[in-house]
Amino acid sequence: MVIRYSSGKISVKCSKNSRILVDDVNFDIDDGETFALIGKTGSGKTMIALSIMNLLPEDAVQTGGKFDFCGRFLTGESLQELLGNEIVYIPQSGGDYLNPTRTVKKQLADSLKRLGFKGKDIKNRAIENLGKAGLSEPEKVMELYPFELSGGMAQRVTIALALCSNAKLLICDEATNGLNHEATKEFIFEINRLFPKASKLVITHDISVAKSCDKIGVLCEGKLLERGDAQSVLVSPKHPYTKSLINSLVKNGMEWLPILRNDKCDCPFYSRCPSASERCLSEVPEKTDGVSMYRCVL
């Protein structure tokens, strides 16, 4: 079954008016597929994750959004019932996400009880899931509190918690933050290995993580500027913003683009875009496959 998401407009109320944080972002994720949503800090990535889970901040308003979850349009209570079971969230900091007052064993037991496990089966499955998540001494880890775990261990515990579910959609929100280079490199491989049939939404600013995914969406100031097969987008990017992200990598010289113009334009990258022209100010983006595509990528 396919996961289909459309953000509509997500805005936040300011003192005198409102500011649009996410504008008309659309994507699909097939069973077993990994979709990376990449963009700089503040581009709206986490807002999209929160809107999918119906957990937007109180001052945020979403209009026109749709979430088709395996053939069901979910909102409100119907969506909340699936969180932690069919819709599973892996945060950017496992240590902050875990309950500091409860041992790993008790937190895993809570999740397994909701799935119907009882007695010794709870302990056995908890140990099994910790082992699957890559923890070498699961029985010892079971007795620890979150503050006794390293960053990498805490993140693996959150993956073990995710295994205590019937996940159909996995939302990984900057889940590689705090991991070393090797652990980051292995993360997508491990998620795909452990959740082969689930749809995976990977929210990241790390191009090396996005490169390991099946598809990619490039977000800039709340707008989707490019979307497609991950290898095609990163090897042959069409939009100037995607090119700038790739050029900003250390291995590519860390190219930095200054503000080149002060005019307002529908394209959020216009002020820094080296390829911009006057037609950017006069032409409205076309809709292609439900996405607002700019002339520079058509």
Q: Where are the domains of the chain?
A: 3-86+166-236
Q: How far is CA 149 from CA 94, 95, 154, 283, in A?
A: 10, 8, 6, 53
Write the pLDDT tens digit of every residue in 171-200.
Answer: 998 887 766 667 777 788 888 999 999 999
Q: How many whole angstroms separate alpha carbon 298 and alpha carbon 291?
A: 12
pLDDT at res. 13: 82
Q: 55: how many CB neighbours lie within 10 A of its CB?
A: 13
The number of helix segments (H) and strand segments (E) in the chain equals 12, 15
Alpha carbon distance, N-terminus to C-terminus of the chain: 29
Write the pLDDT tens digit of every residue in 190-245.
Answer: 889 999 999 999 998 888 888 889 999 999 999 998 999 999 999 998 888 888 88
Domain 3-86+166-236, CATH: 3.40.50.300
Flag whether pLDDT at 8 surpasses 50.
yes
Flag whether pLDDT at 42 surpasses 90.
no
For the entire predicted model, the pTM comes to 0.87
Over residues 84-91, mean pLDDT: 90
